[in-house]
Amino acid sequence: MLPSNMAQTSRPGAARPGHLLIIGGAEEKLRQRQILSRFASLAGGPDGRVAIVSTASSLGDEATELYRSLFGQLGIPDVIGLRPITREEANDPALASVIGGTALGRAIIERHRHGTIIAGTSAGASAISSHMVAFGTSGTSPKQRMTQMSAGLGLLPGVVIDQHFEQRNRIGRLLALIAQSPALIGMGVDEDTAALVNPSLVMEVLGKGSVTILDPARIETDAYEVKRHRPIMVSGVILHSLPSGYRFDLRRRRLLTPLRSVELTERQQTQLLAAGDRARRLIRRVAAEGADDTAPERARRRAMRAHRDEEASE
């Protein structure tokens, strides 16, 4: 099952994996749209095809329609929506064949291996890695049991990703995760910010905020012996806080020469103005998702109950 708003498009004939666009949530959708514009360009522009998978979004079809409108304004008219609620639906050949001809998760992985760009925002960003944050509490101090991991898609191995990072004060839980699993690099992505990872595993930061990298190569911790919900000692972690234009080599774990950010022209900004109050309301609702980590699970249960009720009435 895929979390919220993961988008993909294929580039036929590509000989290596595609890019990964890891968005911290609440990406700017009304004016310059730096992150979404970069995605649209890498997706092939007018020749691209995008699939929106909104399984964990409580907005469902509304979120799909919002992104369909946004990508249409950015020059990609071919946008489809997928929203499997159960594992059975995600394994439905008729559904999976839209993007790969196999089960949905395997299809996304296979397409990425052949050059497809995969983007995830909010919970969808966490799902890109092999290990994803399932739920947890906020706070500055790392504590035992303040968060829990589950399996992700595995598109970016060796990294654990958290989103809405600065806005929801999640550094404590990311420190706790790498203390308990020091083989993983921690990546925290702020809202309206993205980490664009190329096939060589070089990350470029886009957007208004920062991407925080926690490198536990020299970590010292007592996480293995702390009980219950007590604070964890964490020392020796290398922290990188990287704003737009900076690059980081995830494979070699080192900072690279920054890039200059590219601003849109006045004409491009004018062409990318949002259309109507409804889009603004939807944007605010999409941005609010994830504040309560149990909301996607509640939405999934409501959808399953409605599905069962519908079957019973037939």
pLDDT per residue rounded down to tens, the chain (314 residues):
333 445 555 455 446 899 999 999 999 998 889 999 999 999 999 999 999 988 767 677 888 999 999 999 999 999 998 887 666 666 654 445 433 334 788 889 988 999 999 999 998 899 899 888 888 999 999 999 999 898 888 899 999 999 999 999 999 999 999 999 999 999 999 999 999 999 999 999 999 999 999 999 999 999 999 999 999 999 999 999 999 999 999 999 999 988 765 555 555 555 555 455 666 677 777 666 655 565 555 666 776 677 677 666 66
Residue 1 lies in a domain: no
158 alpha carbon, distance to own chain's centre: 16
CA 177 to CA 145: how far, in whole Å? 9
Tell me, what's the pLDDT at 102?
A: 42
Tell me, what's the pLDDT at 90?
A: 61
Q: 61-73 vs 34-42: helix axis angle to the nearest 10?
A: 80
Q: Domain range holding 83? A: 6-310
Tell me, what's the pLDDT at 106?
A: 85
Cβ neighbourhood burial of 214 (10 Å; 0-12, 13-18, 19+): buried
Residue 260 lies in a domain: yes
Tell me, what's the pLDDT at 59?
A: 78
pLDDT tens-digit map of 180-209: 999 999 999 999 999 999 999 999 999 999
CA 208 to CA 270: how far, in whole Å? 20
CA 311 to CA 314: how far, in whole Å? 5
Tell me, what's the pLDDT at 101?
A: 39
The number of folded domains in the chain is 1
Contact 256, 248 (CB under 8 A): yes
For the chain, the maximum distance between any two Cα atoms, rounded to a whole number of angstroms, is: 62
Tell me, what's the pLDDT at 266?
A: 57
Residue 213 lies in a domain: yes
Tell me, what's the pLDDT at 163?
A: 96
Tell me, what's the pLDDT at 132?
A: 87
Beta bridge partners of 163: 189
CA 247 to CA 56: how far, in whole Å? 30
Task: Indicate which CATH number applies to the domain containing 69.
Answer: 3.40.50.880
Residue 268 lies in a domain: yes
For the record, the structure tokens of 268 come out as 């491009």
